Amino acid sequence: MNQGYEMASDRLRNASFHLAGLVLGGVNVIGGALLTLYVLILKADSGWIDYLIPIVMQIVGYGTLWLRRTNVKDEIKLRLYSLNYVMIPLHLYSFLNDAADPFWALTFLYVTLAFALQNRMLVLTSSIASFVGLILIMVLSSVETITVVDREDHLLRLILFAIFVAYVIWGLKVGKEKEALLYDYMNRAENTAYEDPQLAMPNQLDFNLYVDYQLQKTELIIAKIEINDYQAMCDVLGHQKCDALLHVFKERVIESLTDAAHVAKGEGGQFLVAFKADETEQTAQRLAVLPETLSGMYILQSFDYILSVSIGVAKSALDGRHSDELMRNAQFALNHARSLGMNQLIYCTPELKRSSLKTIQLSDGLHRANLDEEFHLVYQPQLNLRSNQMSGVEALVRWEHPDLGNVPPGVFIEVAEKNGFIVTLGTWILRKACAEVQVLNDSFTHPLRLAVNVSVIQVEQPDFVGTVLAALEETGMSPDLLEIELTERAFLNHDEANLKKIRTLQSHGIQVAIDDFGTGYSSFDVLKKVQVDKIKVPREFVDYVDENIDNQHILETILSMASRFGVTCLAEGIERKEENDFLVRHGGEEVQGYYYSRPVTLDDVRRQLVALKA
């Protein structure tokens, strides 16, 4: 734990001492006031000596109340609190000539208060003072007093009082032992709560408390350092080696920062660092070299491993006055750093915060969305260059957010893939598109083929094949009219489970196309190992192909290769007549793009079909 914020057990101890001061001081203040009234009302012949006891009680009482608010050590406070019990013999003097019974009542009251406060020193002090007072009563009582209360009766009370005190002290001894165990347990529990057990360093809860405490006095710069692909590292190395690597990484972080920062362990492969902002330039220099310092080879006894990191930084002066705000904004910067590649350090900016908050808003909006009310489908026609007829349509989803309005698909599809909503959304698109296109096909002799984009996340779902087949069965669409478009990521590393699902769909007559062919790392390897039915050439290879020599070579190569592998080649993004003519001259088969039609409603597709027939 760090200095500046107390453990719960310390706060409990302090509260106990404050309570002791409040009770003891309050008793003497109130008792002194009552005794003053007693002297004023019932003692007609009272002198200054009669007011001495109330005055002393008031002084001791108010002194105790003041003492409880000071920073004096608890051990010293306890001894000063004991002065309150000196009042017992003084009370004896006050009551000696009246009666002994009030003193007995006061004696037991003090001892009971000490017992309630669970403090042996107070019990011992009150007991000694009480014994002195009781013995003085027996020795000094006047004859009149003795006639009221016999000395033998006092002796019996003294014996009973001694037994009572002995029992109280024994009970407190047992209670103190249990209290010590409780405090020890609480301290251990708090250390566990505020410390990472594997790395023996402060954890995120401790870090948040430290940040909130320091922000009361100074500005801070905090950084989130994340080991890239941490989970993959754990899967490869196993947890034992991974823990050993984290220990070495921790030491490198601490050595790199010396004593300039407070370092803690975050979640997973994250480490948290807080700098005081009074040395901004030096802090910026330390942060700037961290990616290079922390990345690279880590050499251990039994293995070596290469690490890369991403770092997000937030400043309290700009990004928040509480730990949760700073941590959130540092995470925004970290996410952006991670998206830029390895060993990136990014400071949070207003633009980054706005973008991240919008992403969060979109993610929440997706989960809350009513699919049938907020989403709708449009269709972009696909034409066969050889027959000059519409051969199919590609289903494209649109989202009208209640607050943000029309959200571009390139934005919300990425968010949906990150938060897992793409599975729900993809299923809805597939079923709705099949249903709508089937209604259209029922009106024409030559039915259209339906192309639907499918995310690799959908393919990885255990029930993916069943979901696709169920959509066909529910809508009555023929399997050979459905075309599933997948990016090359779905074929990456040729995951056998995914490939098996794709082959199962093909065995039912469903066609499979590779979208954005040529933009991945393994485009040609996919054709060799996977029997796809179509490849789709992205717009970047078609754009101004009549003028761009490089695009001409790429497009000619893809068309030739498609012919040799016996797969259909469709060029996307045709916007100019010259691009279309180039494809016609070089044997292109199918096209789609604004040159022919923008994405439109199904009614517009129907009208285009009628116009083509005419």
pLDDT digits (tens, 9 = 90+) for 276-335: 877 677 888 888 888 988 988 888 877 788 889 999 999 988 888 888 999 999 999 998
CB 532 within 8 A of CB 518: no
Is pTM, for the whole model, over 0.75?
Answer: no
Q: Is 278 helix (H, G, I), strand (E, B) or coil?
A: helix
Count other C-beta atoms under 10 Å from residue 177's C-beta. 10
Split at pLDDT 50, 70, 90, the class of 110 is: low
CB 579 within 8 A of CB 544: yes
Token readout for 466 is 């069943």
Query: Above 90 in pLDDT, residue 36?
Result: no
Q: Which of 114-118, 242-246, 292-296, 306-310 has the lowest mean pLDDT?
A: 114-118
Pairwise CA distance, residues 333 & 352, whole Å: 7
CB 75 within 8 A of CB 117: no
Query: Above 60 in pLDDT, residue 8?
Result: no
Pairwise CA distance, residues 431 & 468, whole Å: 8
Pairwise CA distance, residues 18 & 78, whole Å: 10
Residue 317 has a pLDDT of: 82
What amino acid occupies position 411?
A: V
Query: Above 70 in pLDDT, residue 441?
Result: yes
Residue 99 has a pLDDT of: 45
What amino acid occupies position 537?
A: V
Residue 32 has a pLDDT of: 77
Residue 612 has a pLDDT of: 72
Residue 55 has a pLDDT of: 80
What amino acid occupies position 604?
A: D
Split at pLDDT 50, 70, 90, the class of 469 is: very high
Q: What is the mean pLDDT of residues 598-606?
A: 93
CB 209 within 8 A of CB 193: no
Residue 394: is it exposed, middle or buried by C-beta count within 10 angstroms (0-12/13-18/19+)? Answer: buried
Distances from the Cα of 187 to the Cαs of 11, 294, 453, 502, in angstroms?
12, 34, 57, 58
Q: What is the mean pLDDT of residues 575-596?
A: 92
Most confident stretch, 114-128, 146-160, 298-312, 577-591: 577-591
Token readout for 589 is 């088969």
Pairwise CA distance, residues 250 & 231, whole Å: 17
Residue 436 has a pLDDT of: 95
Over pLDDT 90: what percentage of the chain?
31
Of the CA atoms within 13 Å of residue 429, those in its CB half-sphere come to: 28
Split at pLDDT 50, 70, 90, the class of 2 is: very low
Residue 355 has a pLDDT of: 85
Query: Above 60 in pLDDT, residue 610?
Result: yes
Q: Return the domain boundaries, the chain.
A: 8-191, 201-348, 361-613
Question: Is CATH 3.20.20.450 the right assignment for the domain spanning 361-613?
Answer: yes
What is the CATH superfamily name and number for domain 201-348? Answer: Reverse transcriptase/Diguanylate cyclase domain (3.30.70.270)
Tens digits of per-residue pLDDT, 140-165?
Answer: 665 555 444 455 565 666 666 666 66
Q: What is the mean pLDDT of residues 176-189?
A: 60
Tens digits of per-residue pLDDT, 353-403?
Answer: 888 888 888 999 999 999 999 999 999 999 999 888 899 999 999 999 988
Q: What is the mean pLDDT of residues 492-504?
A: 78
Q: Is 36 helix (H, G, I), strand (E, B) or coil?
A: helix
Mean pLDDT score of the chain: 80
Q: Which of 122-131, 234-243, 278-287, 325-334 has the lowest mean pLDDT?
A: 122-131
Q: Which residue has the higher pLDDT, 404 or 146?
A: 404
Distances from the Cα of 564 to the Cαs of 302, 355, 559, 569, in angstroms?
50, 46, 9, 11
Pairwise CA distance, residues 436 & 280, whole Å: 61
CB 123 within 8 A of CB 115: yes
Closest to 605 in 3D by CA, of 440, 477, 484: 440
Query: Above 50 in pLDDT, residue 192?
Result: yes
Residue 259 has a pLDDT of: 75
Query: Above 60 in pLDDT, residue 93?
Result: no
Rg (CA), the chain: 42
What amino acid occupies position 108?
A: F
- DSSP letter at 600 equals B
Q: Which residue has the higher pLDDT, 185 or 551?
A: 551
